[in-house]
Amino acid sequence: MKPVRVISSHQVFDGGLIQVKVDTVLFPNGNQRERETVHHPGAVAILPVLPDGKMVLVRQYRYATGRPLLEVPAGTLDPGESPDACALRELAEETGYQTKSLRRLCQFYCSPGWADEVLYAFVATDLVNGESSPEEDEDLELVEVAPDDVQRLIAQGEIADAKTIVSLLGYLGLRLPIQ
Amino acid sequence: MKPVRVISSHQVFDGGLIQVKVDTVLFPNGNQRERETVHHPGAVAILPVLPDGKMVLVRQYRYATGRPLLEVPAGTLDPGESPDACALRELAEETGYQTKSLRRLCQFYCSPGWADEVLYAFVATDLVNGESSPEEDEDLELVEVAPDDVQRLIAQGEIADAKTIVSLLGYLGLRLPIQ
């Protein structure tokens, strides 16, 4: 797979969360194309599993999508923060739980066609109750979900985001019904 | 879950693929925050399954991530195009296969914290060989992957994007090893 060559690169937006650029790229076959790409610092998702097998999800309104979603606890990496440290911080902030049993499930690009965001997915067990301290603008509702309910919640569209579906399917080994 | 109120909204980038805006939003608890969000037209992913159970993936260099990835065939919705029509078009363009057996697996937001992109995931069986016609700047290599190889390819990071992991786990019902 031959490399591409960047002819020009222009940053068109430099925000607090994301940066956007438009690059002109020469492909190995000689074609020249523009590519719009978004830089994102990366994020973590944590699947907290209780002793009875239920999992702790959070329901919150997502401004970008215009609707509430039922998701695994998650958050963006702070500058210089490791994925493990970020996972422990976000778990505590959003659910109040702390743990010494944080393990990696997988990592993936969310939208590799146009963004570089990497999502690091974790599973947390041996949860110890602490106190949650969500960011002040977060309106989070904790929801305990049983493994038997996962396929239905995905099919109904209440669980409808990549990191939550990957975490639940990868941890539980569930098939999705094909329609 | 009370609604938020938009105080102001400014488009900061209007590209051929994405639009970016910065909104000032009033949350139900009285806090005012800026939100950077990306609008994307949505996309499809198709898991093509051969009669012997192997699945047809495509390896391609992804400019946004700076590396090649092994992915399910996929593509962006054209204006006014239905997810089903887009799936059949992208399947034919990228793999050369056609089918009358296209079924829905699930749909999800890729990055609901900051983007509205929805991914519609399909499974295609009863594949008929046609002729592939990738866009001229696409340098695609078709790779047939056996179900037994999926967990290893994800663990090794060769398969490393949300839509491909969701499609493979959801179709095959595989657990990911926790590390």
User: What are the pLDDT digits (tens) for B14-50?
Assistant: 999 999 999 999 988 888 999 999 999 999 999 999 9
| Number of domains forming the structure of chain B | 2
Mean of pLDDT values over B109-135: 91
Is position B178 within any domain? Answer: no
Range with lowest mean pLDDT among A4-18, A23-37, A164-178: A23-37
Do A86 and A131 reside in the same domain of the chain?
yes
Residues B29 and B47 grouped into a single domain: no
Identify whether residues A87 and A136 lie together within a single domain.
yes
Which among A2, A29, A36 has the least Cβ separation from residue B136? A29
- The CATH number that applies at residue A93 is 3.90.79.10
B interface mutation test: which of A63, A69, A158 has the most B CBs within 10 A? A63
Determine which one of B138, B141, B144, B158 is catalytic: B138
Distance separating alpha carbons of residues A23 and B1, to the nearest angstrom: 40
Residue from the list A2, A60, A64 with its beta carbon closest to the beta carbon of B115: A64
Interface pTM, i.e. ipTM: 0.96
d(CA B162, CA B179): 19
CB burial string B20-39: b at 16+ within 10 A, e below? bbbbebebeeeeeeebbbbb
Each residue of B66-105: pLDDT tens digit?
A: 999 999 999 999 999 999 999 999 999 999 999 999 999 9
Shortest distance, CA B129 to any CA of chain A (angstroms): 23
In-domain check, residue A96: yes
Domain assignment present for B27: yes
Buried b (16+ CB within 10 A) or exposed e, B59-88: ebbbbbbeeebbbbbbbbbeeebebeebbb
From chain A residues 46-65, the ones with a CB under 8 A of any chain B CB are 59-65
Nearest CB partner across the interface for A12, out of B13, B76, B171: B13
Chain B neighbours among A 137-176 (CB < 8 Å)? Answer: 137, 139, 141, 154-155, 157, 160-163, 165-166, 169-176
Per-residue CA distances from B157 to A4, A45, B54 (Å): 22, 17, 19
**A23 and A83 inside one domain:** no
CB-CB neighbours of A29 under 10 Å:
10
Domain assignment present for residue B119? The answer is: yes
- pLDDT digits 0-9 by tens, B149-162: 999 999 999 999 99
Residue B158 is among the residues annotated as catalytic for this protein: no
Domain shared by B113 and B164, yes or no: yes
Is A72 within 8 Å of A167 (Cβ atoms)?
Answer: yes
Nearest chain B residue to A16, by CA: B36
Mean pLDDT score of chain B, rounded to an integer?
Answer: 94
Both A73 and A33 in one domain: the answer is no
State phi, psi for A62 to the nearest 5 degrees.
-110, 110
Contact residues on chain B for A59, CB-CB shorter than 8 A: 1
Beta bridge partners of B101: B125
Nearest one of A164, A170, A47, A35 to B111, comparing CA atoms: A164
Quick check: A132 pLDDT over 80? no
> What is the Cα Rg of chain A in Å?
19
pLDDT-derived band at B139, boundaries 50, 70, 90: confident
If asked whether residues A29 and A82 sit together in one domain, one would say: no
Q: In this complex, which of A1, A4, A29 lies closest to B63 when CB atoms are compared?
A: A4
Q: Return the pLDDT at A141.
A: 94
The answer as to whether B131 is a domain residue is yes
The closest of B150, B48, B57, B176 to A165, measured between CA atoms, is B176
Mean pLDDT on A62-66: 96
pLDDT grade for A130, boundaries at 50, 70 and 90: confident
Residue A59: closest CA among A140, A5, A122: A140
| Mean pLDDT across A28-49 | 95
- pLDDT higher than 70, residue B136: no
Domain shared by A17 and A85, yes or no: no
Structural domain containing residue B18:
5-39
Residues B66 and B146 in one domain: yes
Report yes or no on A99 lying in a domain. Answer: yes
Structure tokens at B72: 């399910």
Say whether B112 and A65 touch across the interface (CB within 8 A).
yes
Same domain, A158 and A138: yes
Whether A12 and A61 share a structural domain: no
Q: Residue A115 gets which letter from DSSP?
A: B
Pairing label, strands B32-39, B118-125: unpaired
**Residue whose pair of structure tokens reads 């980038």 in the numeric block:** B13
Mean residue pLDDT of chain A comes to 94
Residue A77 lies in a domain: yes
**Gap from B171 CA to chain A (nearest CA, Å):** 6
Residue A139 has pLDDT above 90, yes or no: no
Chain B contacts in chain A segment 96-125 (CB below 8 A): 103-117, 119, 123
Element (H, E) at B84: helix B83-95
Do both B59 and B137 map to the same domain? yes
A1 in contact with B, Cβ within 8 Å = yes
Does residue B179 belong to any structural domain of this protein?
A: no
pLDDT at B29: 83
* B68 in Cβ contact with A109 (< 8 Å): no
What residues of chain B lie within 8 A of the CB of A112, using their CB?
62, 64-65, 69, 71, 160-161
